[in-house]
Amino acid sequence: MEEQVQAIKMGKFITENDNSSWKSLYKMGGFAALLSLVFFPIQIAVYLINPPPDTVVGWFNLFNERPLIGLLDLDLL
């Protein structure tokens, strides 16, 4: 899949192959999208099992008793 892209820069044509430095950025973007798809159902399950507190005192109690659940309720994932 060797497509060539042409761009005009200062009146000159520049030709880049598909194997340019952007390829690593595309891979990282795809990985981030897949990671989001994995974490999204986990975050929904956390909210359903342990809904976030309604008050500030509830948040402080949650962080005192279960800090990890408190961070997950604050969208750690």
CB 32 within 8 A of CB 49: no
Tokens found for residue 77: 């994932």
- Kindly report the pTM of this predicted structure: 0.53
Pairwise CA distance, residues 60 & 43, whole Å: 20
Could you give phi then psi for residue 7, rounded to 5 degrees?
-135, 155
Tens of each residue's pLDDT in the chain, 77 residues: 555 555 555 666 666 566 677 888 899 999 999 999 998 898 888 888 888 888 999 989 988 998 888 888 887 76
H or E element at residue 40: helix 22-49
